[in-house]
Amino acid sequence: MLVLVANLGSTSFKYRLFDMSDERCLARGAVDRIGDPMSHCEVEIGDWKDERSMPVADHGVAVAACLEQLTNPEHGVLKDASEVAAIGFKAVHGGRLSGVFVVDDNVLDAMGEMNAAAPAHNPPYIAAMKLLRERFPDLPLIAAFETDFHQTVPAPRREYAIPREWADGFHIRRYGFHGASHRFIAGRAAEVLGCNDARVISCHLGGSSSLTAIVGGKSVMTTMGMTPQTGLPQNNRVGDFDPFALPLIIEKTGLTLDEVLRKLASEGGLLGLSDRSGDMRDLEEAAAAGDEKSQLALDAFVEEVRRHMGGMIVAMGGVDAIVFTGGIGEKGKDVRKNVCANLEELGIVVDVDANDAIKGEGSFHATGSRTQLLVIPTNEEVIVARQCVERLQDPRNPG
């Protein structure tokens, strides 16, 4: 079975094609600047690579271009687009729907109800899904919601202390995100540890970051809440923030609530703290040159990771492994070292040389450390592909 996994942005489309008989990635590609007079398209199929500019009006055209690349007589891996069993989407927020669904009007309506909670994610997905349903009516579209993995979080860690009618009437609670990444880490960590009931903290650190506590392969606590804006400071998103500061900001700046929220979602986080950049590489370079605000941003990020990690250790009654993944988690040796520093009394001991040497998957705990410290590159796309296969093979499909 062949599954195409799509990752959408407002003006971008990235994809991977999987052969699910052995989970090989047969092809990958991307289209950027959708809607511009000339969009950038690239594809990689085996050793063959191609880049070109062409007009791509919308996401439907992008998918058509993708399928054309995949069926190219000379380099393609498909004889016909009908060989693709489904297109899977790493959908973000379905509110009242959390799971894996064949896209229908109910799914689109549920996503639309959460547009205000995920304004950067839901609208482009909804628009693209509608276009693709019209252009490829016989090709199943499957939404695998990021919130699904966190449905096992216990109620005391899921509910906000708000009026009951708001929670029940408007589906307001802590949902959690990055579900595909944390699900992959849960499975791969179990393989590495040789144990299915381990207590694991999955640290997905990148442009968007979250931590999840995992026991026996299930999420029991996570840092993101009602929206992907919450939890740790992101590259340019605020993270946790006191809502009662909003009236003061509105009063002092004269901005509207929508304008303030847009600034918090685009000029906050590491960018706001440093007043320079939201990119960890830029901040480390500037901090090394003596920039105090960049150092503050780095320190604040590490402190927030440690604060949440400590709560998770308490919630699980200990920790067997801490796993780092994502762009920062996999490549940020200083972040890993600083997050795990001075925790010897908790059984967390870093081998600094091993940490510095890691490329790809590996471990960096010292001899005698009770907690294993691991770096595991994530694979969100293969998780979505697996979920698509399960949904297509489910006799209850498409519900």
Asked if residue 395 has pLDDT above 70, the reply is no
Q: List, in order of start, the domains of the chain with CATH numbers.
A: 2-145 (3.30.420.40), 195-375 (3.30.420.40)
Tell me the C-alpha distance between 25 and 377, whole Å.
Answer: 15
- pLDDT bin (cut points 50, 70, 90) of residue 232 is very high
Q: How far is C-alpha 301 from the geometric centre of its chain's CA atoms?
A: 18
- Tokens 């276009």 locate to 131
- Tokens 């092809």 locate to 27
Reported as half-sphere exposure (CB side, CA atoms, 13 A), residue 351 has a value of 17
Contact (CB, 8 A) for 174 and 160: yes
Asked if residue 305 has pLDDT above 60, the reply is yes
| Pick from 3, 4, 60: nearest CA to 31 | 60
Mean pLDDT of 309-337: 98
The string of pLDDT tens digits covering residues 24-74 is 999 999 988 888 888 888 999 988 898 889 898 888 788 888 888 888 888
Sorted by sequence, the CB contacts under 8 Å of residue 379 that are 6+ apart come out as: 184
Q: Is 317 exposed, middle or buried (0-12, 13-18, 19+ CB in 10 A)?
A: exposed
Query: Across the strands, what pairs with 199?
Result: 215
Neighbours of 54 (CB within 10 A): 11
The string of pLDDT tens digits covering residues 197-209 is 999 999 999 989 9
Q: Residue 52: its pLDDT value, please? A: 87
The string of pLDDT tens digits covering residues 271-284 is 999 999 999 999 99
Asked if residue 398 has pLDDT above 70, the reply is no
Residues annotated within the binding site for Mg(2+) are 7, 380
Residues annotated within the binding site for ATP are 14, 279-281
Q: How far is C-alpha 214 from the geometric centre of its chain's CA atoms?
A: 16
Q: Residue 397: its pLDDT value, please? A: 54
Residues annotated within the binding site are 7, 14, 279-281, 380
| Inter-axis angle of helices 59-70 and 122-135, nearest 10 | 60
Asked if residue 120 has pLDDT above 90, the reply is no
